[in-house]
Amino acid sequence: MIHSLSLNLFRKSRTAGFLILTFLASSLWAQDADPAKGKSLFNTNCAACHQLDKKMTGPALRNVETRLSETEGLDRTWLYAWIRNSAGMIKSGDAYANKIYTEYNNSAMTAFPQLSDTELNDILAYTAQPKAAPVTQATSDVVGGGVPSTGGADNNQILLAGLALLFGLLAIGLFMVRKTLHRFAMANDIDLPVDKPKSTPIWIAFAQNQFLVLVTAIFFLLASGYFVYGFLMQIGIDQGYEPVQPIHYSHKIHAGENKIDCNYCHSSARVSKHSGIPSLNICMNCHKSIYEYNGPTTAEYTKDFYDNEIKKLYKAVGWDDANQVYTGKTQPVKWVRIHNLPDFAYFNHSQHVTVAGIECQTCHGPVEEMEIMSQYAPLTMGWCINCHRETNVKVTDNAYYDKIHDELSKKYGVEELTAAQMGGLECGKCHY
């Protein structure tokens, strides 16, 4: 009965038939296997090397069981044996085991003798599940960003138009009131003052008053001096500098949403003068597995946009994602340098990060919220000096400071020493 039903439906529409078939398949599993449990087993044990729909270290595993029984005539007992001890199967000379082993460049699959039959059934049930259609993704994209941002623009325009209208009405209203009053006065025979007595124009009066002229001149001199000074002080300060980078790498996504430690990538900040920009092999530690972006998106930054940026990374390191190999064709990524002190000033990261224990954010701002990296601090000498005056040196647990701390705290009569008192204002510390 069910059989004929499904056949009937199959004739009507392919998708319906497909649904029924998978329904049948999963109801078959339902007796002994739980795809949900299978999913978690798969994620902990197998996902390091396998994905359902994509070749990784090992083959894609969606519908392996059907695939292997159709193409190779292998049954579930073969799968049990392979998963529990693939190396043993290869040694025993099993034909297909050897074939697939050489096809994957002799990479060894881990043996899983600890997995029971039920657990393996769960895993296989999970691999037999149909692929989820990416419908929800599209809708969530729209909700994610498009609506609020355009809504914001509209709101502003409506507000402005409303204000303009209001002012227009007010102006007309005033004009009308004045006109009516005027007519009223005429009607009641009231004399309106028509001609004022002649007086000297205001600017001539002004020119004649020497004191006023002097005061204004001084005022203008001071003001322009102030602006010229301000302008000159801007030179060489690139606060807020935010260049377009060759790969749209987002600190918001990496350091913010995914909580990756700054030192993971900028690993030399702990130990050297420079923080360093990570070489691309560090990116590939994660991006061998993360080949697409599934986080939150906005109208400007869509999933397609981000996926394309990851492809740029693959192109630069020469990673062929489809075949999971490096091609050897690399192109260095030319990141645009943002922070740059003039060469006559010496700044060392490890002194501040490791010895003084200062957070990166104190100097670089809320990096974990920056979609595009920009320069937060002015990097002027005044900025360095101010902080040295205000920040205490971390002397606890640092044997290096024991002696000098005792001497200096006696000299200044304080318990806590600032970096300035320690010598952080001496020109030679930063200029040599």
Partner 1 sequence: MPNMYTSVGYEAYGEYDVFAKGQEAMAPAENTIARGHSLYAFPNSNEGYELAKADSTNPYETDYDAIRGKALYDIYCGICHGNQGKGNGYLVANEKILGVPSYDAREITVGSVYHVIYFGKNTMGSYANQLNEEERWQVSAYVMNLREALIQN
Tell which positions 154-193 bind partner 1, by CB under 8 A.
Answer: none
- For residue 333 the two structure tokens come to 């990524």
Told to check if 293 binds ligand HEC by CB under 6 A, we report yes
Residue with tokens 């082993």: 101
Contact between 10 and ligand HEC by CB under 6 A: the answer reads: no
The answer to the question of residue 282 lying near partner 1 (CB under 8 A) is yes
Scanning 25-33, 237-245, 287-295, 422-430 for contacts with partner 1 by CB under 8 A, the matching segment is: 287-295
43 binds, among partner 1, ligand HEC, none (CB under 5 to 8 A by kind): partner 1
Tally of CA atoms within 13 A in the half-sphere of 138 that contains its CB: 3
348 binds partner 1 (CB under 8 A): no
Contact partner, 267, from ligand HEC, partner 1, none, Cβ < 5-8 Å per class = partner 1
Near partner 1 by CB under 8 A: residue from 137, 239, 263, 308: 263
E strand intervals along 251-359: 319-320, 325-326
Bridge partners, 418 (sequence order): 392
CB of 209 to partner 1, least distance (A): 50
Query: Taking CB under 6 A as the rule, does residue 417 contact ligand HEC?
Result: no
Out of 258, 308, 348, 386, which residue is the one contacting partner 1 (CB under 8 A)? 258
Q: Are 347 and 273 in contact (CB under 8 A)?
A: yes
Q: Decide: 145 and 64 in contact? Cβ < 8 Å.
A: no
- The reply to whether 229 sits near ligand HEC by the rule CB under 6 A is no
What interhelical angle do 280-287 and 303-317 show, nearest 10? 130
Q: Which does 288 bind (CB under 5 to 8 A by kind): partner 1, ligand HEC, none?
A: partner 1
Residue 320 phi/psi, 5-degree rounding, is -90, 100
Residue from the set 100, 125, 128, 417 that interacts with ligand HEC by CB under 6 A: 100
- Residues, the chain: 432
Cα-to-chain-centroid distance, residue 334: 19
Best CA proximity match to 123, nearest among 18, 247, 262, 29: 29
Report the residue number, 43 or 216, with the smaller CB distance to partner 1.
43
Site for partner 1 in 53-82 (CB under 8 A): 56-57
| Interface characters, 12-51, with partner 1 (x: CB under 8 A) | -------------------------------xxxxxxx--
- The residue from 285, 308, 362, 386 that contacts partner 1 (CB under 8 A) is 285
Max CA distance (Å), the chain: 124
CA distance 102 to 119: 28
Binding-site partner at residue 298 among ligand HEC, partner 1, none, CB < 5 to 8 Å by type: none
CA angle, 294 then 280 then 252, to 5°: 40
Residue 221 CB, shortest distance to partner 1, in Å, is 31
Q: Where are the alpha helices (DSSP H) in 277-401?
A: 280-287, 303-317, 349-350, 360-364, 381-390
Q: Which of ligand HEC, partner 1, none does residue 332 bind (CB under 5 to 8 Å by kind)?
A: partner 1
423 Cβ partners below 8 Å, 6+ apart?
429
Torsion of CA 255, 260, 266, 268, to 10 degrees: 150
What is the rounded CA–CA span in Å between residue 252 and residue 408? 43
Judged by CB under 8 A, the stretch of 90-98, 122-130, 155-163, 264-272 that binds partner 1 is 264-272
**Six-digit token pair at 236?**
């060489």
HSE of 288, CA atoms in CB hemisphere, 13 A: 15
- The residue within the footprint of ligand HEC, chosen from 46, 52, 89, 125 (CB under 6 A), is 46
**For partner 1, which residue of 63, 98, 267, 351 counts as binding (CB under 8 A)?**
267
Which amino acid is located at 195 in the chain? D
* DSSP label of 401: G
Q: Is 223 in the site for partner 1 (CB under 8 A)?
A: no
Kindly state whether residue 431 participates in binding ligand HEC, applying the rule CB under 6 A.
yes
Instruction: Determine the interface stretch with ligand HEC among 28-36, 175-183, 190-198, 352-360 (rule: CB under 6 A).
Output: 352-360
Residues in 132-161 at the binding interface with ligand HEC, rule: CB under 6 A: none
The residue behind tokens 């970096």 is 419
Contacted entry of ligand HEC, partner 1, none for residue 161, CB cut-off 5 to 8 Å set by kind:
none
Residues that bind partner 1 (CB under 8 A): 43-49, 56-57, 107-108, 236, 258-261, 263-264, 267, 271, 273-274, 276-277, 279, 281-282, 284-286, 288-290, 294, 332, 334-335, 337, 342-344
